[in-house]
Amino acid sequence: MERIEADNLAFLVATRDIGNDGGPSIEVHTQVGDKDVQLLRFDCFRVRPHYHYDPNSMDEEHNLDTILIEDSLPWALTQLRQRLPQMVTHAGYPEVAGAIRITSVATGLDEVEAFFQKESAAQSA
């Protein structure tokens, strides 16, 4: 798992394999006091793509409609680029959301995207 720092957040990225499913996974973390907190997780899996709000506490999980969203990784990156503060607020961390500087986070998300492009190229080779 690779950690990409982005302002007050960190993106932990990996390709996960869960039995007959798996694929890109993006975790959004922050520090709350001295504790590392996972705010969001996007599991862009082949069979059952889904995302979580506050996975380690309330764990509100939503499946994606694969008829409407054919490739969940670009969808997840779009949500992170366009709705990250709103999603972090919904996860129960409005003070963290208020401190997000989306322009700083955008650079981190570019690195997230590059990580998965490199992973995809390595798998194709």
Dump pLDDT digits (tens) for 65-120: 999 999 999 999 999 999 999 999 999 999 999 999 988 899 999 999 999 998 87
pTM for the predicted model, two decimal places: 0.94
* pLDDT computed for residue 125 by the predictor: 66
In this predicted structure, what is the pLDDT of residue 26?
Answer: 98
> What pLDDT was estimated at residue 104?
85
DSSP string, 69-87: -S-HHHHHHHHHHHHHHHH
Burial (0-12, 13-18, 19+ Cβ within 10 Å), 9 = buried
pLDDT of 122 higher than 70: yes
